[in-house]
Amino acid sequence: MNDTRSPLQSIAIYLGALLILIWSAGPFLWQFSTSFQLDKALTSGSPSLIPSPFTLEHYYNAFVEKQLHRYVWNSLVVSLATTFLCLFVGSLAAFALSRLNIKGRFGILMVILSVSMFPQIALVGPLYLVASNLGLLDTYTALIITYLALGLPLVTWVLFGYFETLPREIDEAARMDGVSIPGLLWHIILPMSLPSLVTTGLLAFITAWNEFLFALAFTSNIDHQTIPVGIANFTNLYYVPWGDIAAASAVVTVPLIVLVLFFQRHIIEGLTQGGIKE
Amino acid sequence: MSAAVDVSGTGRPRRLGKALPGALWALLLLTPAFVSLASVSFYPIVNGLYLSLTNTSLITQDQDFTGFANYVQLWGDAQFWNAWWHTMWFTLASTTLETVIGLGMALILCEAFKGRGLVRAAMLVPWAMPTVVTSKMFGWLFDGQNGIINYILLHAGLIEQNVNWYGSTQTAMTTIIIADVWKTTPFMALLLLTGLQTVPNSLIEAARMDGAKGWITFWYIRLPLLMPTLLIAGLFRALDAFRVFDLVYVLTGGGPADSTETLSTLSYKVLFSTLQFGYGAAVSTAMFVTEGIIALVFCLYLVRQIRRAQ
């Protein structure tokens, strides 16, 4: 395919690829390196990518002084609950839209997708009033209910796309054997959709893990605040603790990056299906 | 867009559901999703419309219907228009840059080269990172005193003294746009890449046989075929950029001197700092309307493009 490429073109392509690599990974590598450097080294005026001397001071500060683990715990509870609820509700809806005889299902799908385009700032005021009236401020519940609705459109859309690729003969055969409708979903469609469930689950998890606006509005103390709110509030009285922030960034971002890299192919496929191709 | 659905519409199983009729099952299975979206998305929008016609405030405890008073106030509110223009500028600049640079990246990724998998994997890093973390990270990269960007530019001789990037009204918005472009462009490139890969290779080969140069095959074959993908990706991106909140709120908080105030941050302040929920709802409704208009213009343009292509 590439026999026609001249040396000059090859160089241009590799140079471009290198630029993309630096663009994508460079800033975070610098942030990661920062997290291991002493404040003195960071303000010395001659930055170096290799931490010397190497220090874990910032990680100590992040966990002991700023109680990072409590934010991590809150985020884990909220994000995992959101993920499972999203998968449950989303797969029911996607299954119904894909496999049952529903009139105007394309319209329904478009409505579901368009919901994800609503500006979230328009939702936060009225939802705050509801949460306040129901006594749900500073609870996990308020966040989970909100994130379920935020994640649901994408989850439903991607799962629907996947269910559509499963051959319908399987349904017919199962129906012949007397499998009920919930049985068809639970015993046949879902086990076959495992890769898609993992991807969509990861997308829902990331949505909840990274969400800031609602967490900021609905929670006011460390008992229920999630990581983004915690990190946003990472300030000291007299200076910005860049090293501590870098350490906290590394802690909450590295696991996410590992997960994403592990599932990268599925993620790209899933998202393009949800966002563009259809 | 409708092709996939038409295909799947045929051969729909008819005999599902012996115990319960199919329609009832469908209703049952869709209910949880409907309840969730209706209560967390549709209800707040409708309620927000109503609130925007009242003087609801959590401080005065007022809750009276005031008609269009909020909108009249909004029309003459310099802060609102300031934020409106900032948001439009941010949306236009970031969407354009992300689409153009993303297309460039996608064209490179389209070629076969060693280490392509690595590059493609690395491109997901900015996307996966929480926006709040991105914001703080750019705070450090673009720090006015010890930021690495100032250090690099200074030593490359591109600037003569440290620039106070997000601390000065001149450069704060630009810094935020750069941060957004950094975060979103690689992902945009991956979306465009899948679009590029659907352009049949045989077409490009044939053009090359006829002696067409690289940029001619790009301009006359790849770009027109990629146009629908490009426009849809651009639309999604523009709608997303329009509601920018995390980046601004964490990096500058709308400052310095309101120079980066956007509609989302302004709404948030009106809602949660002054607790004027009525007026705040008017701001966010105005934002919703603007977003609707952007979507409409995009869609009309898209339909025209597709018609012309046929």
**Minimum mean pLDDT among A114-128, A252-266, B265-279: which range?**
A252-266
To the nearest whole angstrom, how far is the Cα of B170 from the nearest Cα of chain A?
22
Candidate from B40, B201, B263 with C-beta closest to A127: B40
Residue B137 burial (CB count, 10 A): 26
Q: Do A117 and B291 touch (CB under 8 A)?
A: yes
Cβ proximity of A61 and A76 under 8 Å: no
Number of CB pairs, chain A paired with chain B, less than 8 A apart = 316
Residues above pLDDT 70, as percent of chain A = 95
- What does DSSP assign to residue A233? T
ipTM: 0.89
**Minimum mean pLDDT among A58-62, A144-148, B221-225: which range?**
B221-225
Cα–Cα distance measured from residue A241 to residue A58, given in angstroms and rounded to the nearest whole number: 9
pLDDT score for A276 = 41
Residue A56 has pLDDT above 50, yes or no: yes
User: Which residues have a Cβ under 8 Å from the Cβ of B171 and sit 6 or more positions away?
Assistant: B163, B164, B165
To the nearest whole angstrom, how far is the Cα of A148 from the nearest Cα of chain B?
7
pLDDT score for B121 = 86
Three-state SS for B254?
Answer: coil
Q: Do A181 and B17 touch (CB under 8 A)?
A: yes
Q: Do A124 and B233 touch (CB under 8 A)?
A: no
User: Which residues have a Cβ under 8 Å from the Cβ of B244 and sit 6 or more positions away?
Assistant: B87, B90, B91, B176, B180, B262, B264
Cα–Cα distance measured from residue B124 to residue A57, given in angstroms and rounded to the nearest whole number: 29
All residues of chain B having their beta carbon less than 8 Å from the beta carbon of residue A172 are 13
pLDDT tens, position by position, for chain B (310 residues)? 333 333 333 444 444 444 567 778 888 999 999 999 999 999 999 999 999 998 888 888 888 888 888 999 999 999 999 999 999 999 999 999 999 999 999 999 988 888 888 898 888 899 989 999 999 999 999 998 889 999 999 989 898 888 889 988 889 999 999 999 999 999 899 888 888 888 787 887 888 788 777 788 888 888 888 888 888 888 889 999 999 999 999 999 888 989 999 999 999 999 999 899 999 999 999 999 999 998 898 888 888 877 876 6
pLDDT score for A272 = 64
Candidate from A93, A121, A146 with C-beta closest to B287: A121
All residues of chain A having their beta carbon less than 8 Å from the beta carbon of residue B236 are 275
Q: Do B122 and A172 touch (CB under 8 A)?
A: no
